[in-house]
């Protein structure tokens, strides 16, 4: 029962943040949230901790919880590092490609498409990011998995807050094209597609979107 109540709070806050009903930097007061959801502050605290693990909110000692506020500069830096890392990962993947690895990636992309089609913002965001980590995982390189996982995690909130539904669909289609090049062992095309894909994701982020409220009750109503 407690875990389902926590999930309701996590889902409601995630949606309010993603749909730009809560401003980045908004303070999330525990008592106000407890009153709104009719639960204890302990359950609210659990939900806030879970959201902090996903980098959706920031917990600051002695200050409380705040909606995370990723900047355009941070996004550009993260994507620059990802392009460097994933270009070489793609080259290595082509050289070590197997039918089983291609099959695993195709299954992943099918899950992405299903999430995009049902307009599940959180799910599609997780799956689109995980595609890149999945490539590293299939190669068996745990150091790369960890490094890329951290970078994708830093991108997750950025894309969650600033990526449109049409851009998410485009990402899914680009993943499918990357797989075709990998399956054909076309190293140069695969690298070019990966580079273009990451550039497109970055360029499609709309940092100038207006956020109408920083009032918790209004944003969650």
Considering the four listed CATH numbers 1.20.120.530, 3.40.50.970, 1.10.10.10, 3.40.50.720, the one that applies to the domain covering 72-203 is 1.20.120.530
Q: What is the pLDDT of residue 214?
A: 52
Reading the block at residue 149, the tokens are: 């996982």
Whole-Å CA distances, 101 to 58, 135, 136, 198:
36, 8, 11, 21
Q: What is the pLDDT of residue 118?
A: 93
Q: What is the pLDDT of residue 1?
A: 57
The pTM (predicted TM-score) of the whole model is: 0.72
Q: Would you say how long the chain is, in residues? A: 221
At the topology level, CATH places domain 2-69 in: Arc Repressor Mutant, subunit A (1.10.10)
Q: What is the pLDDT of residue 211?
A: 47
Low-confidence spans in the chain with pLDDT less than 70? 1-2, 207-221
Phi and psi, residue 94, nearest 5°: -60, -40
In angstroms, the CA 4 to CA 28 distance is 20
Q: What is the pLDDT of residue 90?
A: 98
Q: What is the pLDDT of residue 94?
A: 98
Closest listed residue to residue 51, CA positions, set 91, 9, 80 = 9
Beta-carbon contacts of residue 201 (< 8 Å; ≥ 6 apart): 79, 159, 163, 167, 171
What does the domain layout of the chain look like in residue ranges? Answer: 2-69, 72-203
């Amino acid at each position: 029962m407690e875990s389902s109540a926590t999930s309701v709070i996590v889902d409601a806050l995630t949606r309010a943040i993603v749909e730009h009903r809560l401003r980045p930097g908004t303070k999330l007061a525990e008592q106000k949230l407890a009153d709104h959801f009719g639960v204890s502050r302990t359950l609210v605290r659990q939900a806030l901790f879970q959201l902090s693990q996903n980098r959706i909110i920031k917990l600051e000692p002695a200050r409380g919880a705040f909606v995370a506020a990723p900047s355009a500069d941070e996004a550009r830096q993260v994507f620059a590092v990802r392009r460097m890392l994933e270009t070489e990962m793609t080259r290595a993947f082509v050289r070590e490609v197997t039918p089983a690895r291609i099959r695993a990636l195709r299954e992943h992309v099918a899950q992405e498409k299903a999430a995009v089609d049902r307009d599940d913002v959180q799910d599609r965001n997780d799956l689109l990011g995980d595609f890149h980590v999945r490539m590293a995982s299939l190669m068996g390189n745990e150091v790369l998995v960890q490094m890329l996982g951290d970078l994708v995690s830093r991108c997750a909130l950025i894309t969650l807050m600033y990526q449109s539904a049409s851009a998410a669909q485009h990402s899914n289609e680009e993943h499918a094209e990357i797989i075709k090049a990998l399956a054909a062992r076309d190293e140069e095309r695969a690298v070019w597609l990966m580079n273009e894909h990451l550039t497109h994701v970055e360029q499609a982020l709309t940092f100038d979107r207006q956020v109408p409220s920083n009032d918790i009750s209004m944003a969650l109503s």
